[in-house]
Structure 1
Amino acid sequence: MASTKDWFETVAEARERARKRLPKSVFLALHAGSEAGRTLADNTAAFAELGLRPRIADLPATREQATTVLGQEISMPVICSPTGVQAVDPGGEVAVAKAAAASGTAIGLSSFASKPIEDVVAANDKTFFQVYWQGSRDSMIARMDRAKQAGAKGLIVTLDWVFATARDWGAPPIPEKVDLKAAITFAPQVLVKPGWLARYVRTRRLPDLTTPNLAEAGAQGPTFFGAYGEWMGTQPPTWADLAWLREQWDGPFMIKGIYRPDDAKRAVDIGATAISVSNHGGNNLDSTPASIRALPGVANAVGDQIEVLLDGGIRRGSDVVKALALGAKAVLVGRAYLWGLAANGERGVHNVLEILRQGIDSTLYGLGRKSIHELSPEDVVVPGDFTRGM
C-alpha cells in the first residue's frame, strides 16, 4: 500500500518522519552510536553484503512465521528489544507493548523504562523484563520479584556495554529531569517541532525521565542519569555472579550481548535459556564487527542447546530472514520501532512491525520457503571474508 499521513511503507521512511518530528537532541539520542560509529554503520552495512538465492517455481502459496521464544508463542520472529526511557512519545513503553500485542509478538521492557512494569504487562502479557548487573544483590532480587509478581514471562540480562560515551560528532545534550531550567534550555529545539510538543500538551504531562522499575511499585524511582550512575558504579559481574542471578529467576532467562563462541558456551553452562548476539546497537565497544558477522560462529558453537537471537541492524524483513538462515531463532529490534513510535505513536510501532512481517513473507516466497523453520545457510550467499575470522 502507498504511504499516507498515517502509514509509511519502509523503516527508512519511519526514520525520516521521526527526524522531522523530534527535537534535534532527542533524535540524535536515538541515532547515536559510540565513538566514531563504525559498529553502528557496520550493523546495517553487513546485511547488504549478504545475498539471497531465489527460486522461480514451486513457490509456496502461503508462508508461516510463527515461532516460540522464551516459552512465548509469537506470530513472527521479531521482538521489541528493551530500550531505556522512551520519551519520544507520551505513550512510551505502554504504546510499544500495545503495538506489539496487536502484531502478536513480545516486548522486552528495560529496567530503565519510563513506564511501570505493571502497566506494560497489562498492555501485553508477553513481556520480558530486562536488568543490568546493578546495585546490591538484594536490590536485584527485589526488582526481579516485582517483575515476577507483575507477570513478566522472562528475564533479559544485558551485558554488552562498556560506558564508552564519547562520540566523534558530539553527544546530544539531555537533561536529567524536565524542569523550568531544562524547558528554557531546550525551548529553541522544541518550539520548532510543534507536532511533538502538541502530543505532550494534549496529555498535560511533561516527558518523564525517571525509572519507576528501579523502585518499589508506585514510587517514582531515580532519574535516568541517577540509575546510570549506579550501574556504572557497580562492580562488573563474574560468571559466578551470573550463575547466581540465574538461580534467582525460575523462568526463561536470556543473556544479551554474547559475541564470542566461548561466552555462548558459558551461557549454556550456567543454564541460560537464550542468548542474544548483540553489540548494543553500536553503542558498545566501537570497531566491533556487526552482530550478523558474529552470528554463524556463535550459533555453530551451541547448536540447539540454547535459543540464539540476534540484535542489531535490522531494517527490513529480508534482514530478519538472513539472520534466521544463519542460525538465529528470532531477532530483537530497537531503533526501528523507536522511529515508528516517534513518527506516529502506537500506530507507528505497529506499522514498523507489519513492514517487517510483510518483508519476511515476500522473502520467504522468493526463496521458495513455506516456513521460517525451513531456512538454512544455503538460502544466503555469504562472502568469503564475511565473518572476519570470528
Structure 2
Amino acid sequence: MAEWFETVAEAHRRARRRLPRSVYLALVAGSERGSTLNDNIEAFGELGFAPRVADLPAERDMSTTVMDQELSLPVLVSPTGVQAVHPEGEVAVARAAAEVGTAIGLSSFASRAVEDVVEANPKTLFQVYWVGDREKVLARAERARAAGAKGLIVTLDWCFATGRDWGSPPIPEKLDLRTKLSFAPQGLVRPRWLSGFLRHGMPDLTTPNMVPRGEQAPTFFGAYGEWMFTPPPTWEDIAWLRERWGGPFMIKGITHPDDARRARDIGATAISVSNHGGNNLDSTPASIRLLPAVADAVGDDVEVLLDGGIRRGSDVVKALALGARAVLIGRAYLWGLAAEGQAGVRNVFDILRSGIDSSLLALARPSIDELTLEDLIIPRDFARHPVSEH
C-alpha cells in the first residue's frame, strides 16, 4: 500500500515533505544547540542486546497496566501542545490509540477539547502545567474529570529556555488575514496539508482546555504568557493537587533521583523520566541514561515511565529492560499524523509493536515483564546520575 510506511524514519521523511516549513521546524525543535535532543536518540544506539538462538517463545505478551489502565502494549501517547499537522489533531490521535488498545495523554494546551478526545478514547490521561493559582489548576483538572479522564499528568520539566542556535520557527499568535497572507507561500507549496485544512478549517491556535467549558479560550500565547508569569509550584503545591485529584497521578519531567523520591513521598502513582524532548535545559543527558538511577531510587513503589527518543520497538524494549514500565512517544506519532492522519498514527504503533515482538523473540522473553539487565550490553560509562549519587 502506498500509504503504508515501514519505519518511523519514513514517517518523519513524509512529514517533512508534507508540512509547511514552520510547522515542521516546530516539531523537530530542541533548545539551544540541541545536545539533549540529539542524545535522546543517539543514546539508544549505545545499548546492545544479548540475543538467544533456541528455546524461543512461540508467543509474546506485551500487555501492561499504567495508571490503572490496561494497555495492549507498553507505549502511550505523550501530551503535546497545539497540533497544526492535521485537521483532526488530537481526536485522530486518540482514535488511533484506541484502535491499538493504549492510552493518550492530552495536553491542556491541546487544540481539541478534552470532552471530544475522551469520547474518541476513554483511556485519556489529562495533562496540566502549573498555570495560574491553585484553584485555576484544579478547575482544569476537574473539567477533565467530569469529561471522563482517567488520570492526571502534571508536567514540571520546563524552564522557558526557548532559545535555539539555529533560530526558532515563527508561530503566529492568531490566524488573522495578515497572518494568513504572510504564511500563504509556505502553505501553497504544501498543497496536501493546505487542502486538508481548507476542507476542515484552518488550525485552531486557541487552548480550549485552559478554561471552563463554554468560556472563551485563550490563544496559545495568551496561555503561555500566563504560565511564564506564574510562580513555579512547590512540592507542597503538587502534594495538594494530588490529594484534591484523588485518582491516578503522574509527575512528568523527573530526571533527578531526589525528585523521584519526593514524587513517591507525596503519593504519585507514576513518574515519567523526561527532558521535554530536548526542549528544556540543554545539556541534560538523554532520558534513557537517567532512567536506571531514577528507577533504582523508587523501586516498585512508583510506576516509572520513559519519554524521549523512542523511534523503534527495540528502543522500547531497552527502556523496559532498564526499569521502565512503559514509554511515551511524542514526535513519532506526530510524524505519523502528518504523513497519513489517523491511519499514520496507527501505522506508527504497529511498527513499534512489531519491533517489540521481534526483540522479545530474539531475547527469548515470552513477556515484557521478564526483561532484565541481562538482556542488554551496557557500556560502562552509559548511565548518568548526579554527583551526590556516587
- Please report the TM-score for the alignment, with normalisation by the length of structure 1: 0.98
CA deviations over 1:19-76 (Å, ceiling 9, x no partner): 0000000000000000000000000000000000000000001100000000000000
Matched-pair contact (CA < 8 Å) for 2:73–2:353: yes
**Residue 378 of structure 1: aligned partner:** 374
Q: 1:367 aligns with which of 358, 363, 366?
A: 363
Matched-pair contact (CA < 8 Å) for 1:254–1:274: yes
Task: Give the Å deviation of 1:6.
Answer: 1.2
CA deviations over 1:82-108 (Å, ceiling 9, x no partner): 000111100100000000000100000
Task: Give the Å deviation of 1:389.
Answer: 4.4
Distance 1:139 1:338 in 2: 29
Is 1:317 equivalent to 2:277 in the alignment? no
Is 1:104 equivalent to 2:101 in the alignment? yes
Q: 2:123 aligns with which of 115, 122, 126?
A: 126
**Residue 23 of structure 1: aligned partner:** 20
* 1:177 counterpart SS class: coil
**Residue 259 of structure 1: aligned partner:** 255
Matched-pair contact (CA < 8 Å) for 1:76–1:357: yes
Q: Counterpart of 2:348 in structure 1: which amino acid?
A: V
Residues 37-52 of structure 1: pairs in structure 2 closer than 5 A: 37-52=34-49
**Residue 291 of structure 1: aligned partner:** 287
Q: Counterpart of 1:178 in structure 2: which amino acid?
A: L
Q: Which 5+ residue runs of structure 1 have no aligned equivalent?
A: none
Distance 1:350 1:201 in 2: 24
Matched-pair contact (CA < 8 Å) for 1:37–1:286: yes
Distance 2:264 2:183 in 1: 47
Q: 1:35 aligns with which of 32, 35, 39?
A: 32
Residues 72-151 of structure 1: pairs in structure 2 closer than 5 A: 72-151=69-148
Distance 1:166 1:258 in 2: 22
Q: 1:163 aligns with which of 160, 163, 186?
A: 160
Q: 1:387 aligns with which of 383, 387, 390?
A: 383
> Structure 1 residue runs of 4+, over 4 Å off?
none
- What is the number of equivalent residue pairs in this alignment? 386
Task: Give the Å deviation of 1:220.
Answer: 4.0
* 1:218 counterpart SS class: coil
- Please report the TM-score for the alignment, with normalisation by the length of structure 2: 0.98
* 2:192 counterpart SS class: helix
* 1:39 counterpart SS class: helix
Task: Give the Å deviation of 1:219.
Answer: 3.2
Q: Which 5+ residue runs of structure 2 have no aligned equivalent?
A: none
Question: Residues 37 and 108 from structure 1, CA distance in 2 versus in 1: closer, same or farther, beyond 3 angstroms?
Answer: same
Distance 1:12 1:254 in 2: 29
Q: Counterpart of 2:202 in structure 1: which amino acid?
A: L
Matched-pair contact (CA < 8 Å) for 1:211–1:220: no
Q: 1:154 aligns with which of 136, 151, 154?
A: 151
Residues 206-245 of structure 1: pairs in structure 2 closer than 5 A: 206-245=202-241
**Residue 8 of structure 2: aligned partner:** 11
Q: Counterpart of 2:128 in structure 1: which amino acid?
A: V
Is 1:354 equivalent to 2:350 in the alignment? yes
Q: Counterpart of 1:383 in structure 2: which amino acid?
A: P
Cα RMSD after superposing both structures: 0.8
Distance 1:347 1:336 in 2: 13
Distance 1:222 1:248 in 2: 25
Is 1:335 equivalent to 2:331 in the alignment? yes
Q: Counterpart of 2:331 in structure 1: which amino acid?
A: R
Task: Give the Å deviation of 1:218.
Answer: 2.8
Distance 2:284 2:194 in 1: 37
Distance 1:367 1:314 in 2: 19
Q: 2:59 aligns with which of 40, 59, 62?
A: 62
Matched-pair contact (CA < 8 Å) for 1:33–1:40: yes
Distance 1:132 1:382 in 2: 35
**Residue 303 of structure 1: aligned partner:** 299
Distance 2:154 2:23 in 1: 26
Matched-pair contact (CA < 8 Å) for 2:157–2:253: yes
Distance 1:300 1:378 in 2: 16
Q: Counterpart of 2:345 in structure 1: which amino acid?
A: V
Matched-pair contact (CA < 8 Å) for 1:33–1:283: yes
Distance 2:199 2:108 in 1: 27
More divergent stretch after superposition (312-321 vs 179-188) = 179-188
Task: Give the Å deviation of 1:5.
Answer: 2.1
Matched-pair contact (CA < 8 Å) for 1:307–1:329: yes
Matched-pair contact (CA < 8 Å) for 2:290–2:385: no
**Residue 244 of structure 2: aligned partner:** 248
Distance 2:80 2:306 in 1: 15
